[in-house]
């Protein structure tokens, strides 16, 4: 069963500042938790929601959960990657939207469903694809990529200080046997890290945590697609329309923070000189300080611990 507790739910609903006649997008539909609350706000007006997800399992469950809103024509569900948000809106003949939510990363279901290969705690085939239609799996990555490429992926996306040795051990192992399962990969990673130092690599947990994160981000192009999507959606917002982004690790959060700063302060002219570049602000950052989960939520949902919410509002110019 696709079970996913939506994080920062109240904060997202408040952050979107929902108007009952607006058009909204949940770019990461998942189990439909956030969407359901948005739809409740839209139910009495003429507004509607577009739910996008690349995971067919998520779409199946969300469609069943939110069937009454689909029947009322309040919800349109689309299977796609949110980097194609412009094409989705064009296909639906929608020019402007009132708000959009990105809930980044992997859902509870994708972690808990062992066969998907996201978890380093469950034995499964090495997959890690959010969209089962993409060709690159984790098995292909660890068995075919060069040692140098593996090193850079682990270093850049996992920020693991043992990246070089982990890449080396992966290549050494596969010379004798193909790497096929998650726990097989976990064991290889453990051999690359001195036992006394494994807590450093695993941030106090499994030492494979950072490597698994790195491979998942690379396979699903997570950093690239959010950057593309934000650039595409900013000009599709109505004045006062908002972008809400929930991220779960520092790389994503920094990307979103920097992107919002660029939207708000696009001028590239040298400081102290008059602006001649002609670039206008696209709006303002709503929360200067990142929003995190309250203690009450943390008690009920441990996966909210690393969640960070940033909000941007479209202005009149730009």
From the CB of residue 239, how many other CB atoms can be counted at a distance below 10 Å? Answer: 12
Supply the DSSP symbol for 291.
B
Angle subtended by helix axes 209-219 and 222-233, to nearest 10 = 50
pLDDT in tens, 6-38: 999 999 999 999 999 999 999 999 999 999 999
Residue 203: per-residue pLDDT: 45
Residue 223: per-residue pLDDT: 95
Distance of CA 205 to the CA centre of its chain: 22
Contacts 24+ apart (CB under 8 A), 167-172: 168/192, 170/142, 171/146, 171/147
pLDDT in tens, 265-280: 998 888 888 888 888 8
| CA-based nearest residue to 130, from 149, 101, 153, 109 | 109
Residue 3: per-residue pLDDT: 54
Mean pLDDT of 292-303: 91
- Residues 156, 214: Cα–Cα separation, whole Å: 8
Angle subtended by helix axes 147-158 and 163-174, to nearest 10 = 140
Q: Which residue in the block uniquely carries the two structure tokens 């009920």? A: 300
Mean pLDDT of 103-123: 73
Letter string b/e over residues 256-265, b meaning 16 or more CB atoms within 10 A of that residue's CB: bbebbeebbe
- Residues 16, 230: Cα–Cα separation, whole Å: 16
pLDDT in tens, 214-259: 999 999 999 999 999 999 999 999 999 999 999 999 999 999 999 9
Pairing between strand 308-314 and 237-247? antiparallel
| CA-based nearest residue to 209, from 256, 254, 248, 257 | 248
pLDDT in tens, 145-170: 999 999 999 999 999 999 999 999 99
Pick the CATH number of 135-219 from 3.90.1210.10, 1.10.150.170, 3.40.50.800, 2.40.50.140: 1.10.150.170
Residue 81: per-residue pLDDT: 95
Supply the DSSP symbol for 313.
E
Domain ranges of the chain: 9-109+222-314, 135-219
What lies within 8 Å, CB to CB, of 10 at 6+ separation is none
Pick the CATH number of 9-109+222-314 from 3.40.1370.10, 3.40.50.150, 3.40.640.10, 3.50.50.60: 3.40.50.150
Question: 100 burial class (0-12, 13-18, 19+ CB within 10 angstroms)?
Answer: buried
pLDDT in tens, 49-83: 999 999 998 899 999 999 999 999 999 999 999 99
Residue 4: per-residue pLDDT: 64
Q: For 66, phi and psi rounded to 5 degrees?
A: -110, 25
Structure tokens that stand for 32 in this block: 């439909």
pLDDT in tens, 168-210: 999 999 999 999 999 999 999 999 988 777 665 544 468 898 9
């Amino acid at each position: 069963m696709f079970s996913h507790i939506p994080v920062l739910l109240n904060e997202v609903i408040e952050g979107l500042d929902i108007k009952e006649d607006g058009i909204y997008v949940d770019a990461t539909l998942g189990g439909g938790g956030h969407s359901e609350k948005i739809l409740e706000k839209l139910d009495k007006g003429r507004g509607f929601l577009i739910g996008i997800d690349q995971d067919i399992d998520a779409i199946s469950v969300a469609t069943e959960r939110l069937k009454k809103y689909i029947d009322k024509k309040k919800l349109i569900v689309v299977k796609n990657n949110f980097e194609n948000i412009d094409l989705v809106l064009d296909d639906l003949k929608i020019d402007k939207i009132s708000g959009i939510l990105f809930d980044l990363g992997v859902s509870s279901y994708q972690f808990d469903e062992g066969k998907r290969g996201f978890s380093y705690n469950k034995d499964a085939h090495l997959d890690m694809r959010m969209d089962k239609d993409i060709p690159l799996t984790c098995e292909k990555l660890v068995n075919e990529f060069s040692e140098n490429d593996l090193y850079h992926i682990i270093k850049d996306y996992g920020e693991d200080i043992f990246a070089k040795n982990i890449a080396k051990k992966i290549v050494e192992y596969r010379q004798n046997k193909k790497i096929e399962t998650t726990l097989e990969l976990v064991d290889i990673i453990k051999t690359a890290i001195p036992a006394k130092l494994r807590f450093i690599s695993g941030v106090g947990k499994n030492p494979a945590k950072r490597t698994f994160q790195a491979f998942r981000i690379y396979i699903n192009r997570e950093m690239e697609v959010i950057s593309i999507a934000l650039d595409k959606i900013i000009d599709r917002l109505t004045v006062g329309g908002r972008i809400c982004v929930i991220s779960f690790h520092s790389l994503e959060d920094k990307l979103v923070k920097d992107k919002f700063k660029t939207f708000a302060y696009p001028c590239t002219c040298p400081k102290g000189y008059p602006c001649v570049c002609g670039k206008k602000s696209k709006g303002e950052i709503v929360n200067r300080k990142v929003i995190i989960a309250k203690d009450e939520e943390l008690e009920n949902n441990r996966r909210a611990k690393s969640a960070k919410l940033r909000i941007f509002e479209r202005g009149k110019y730009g």
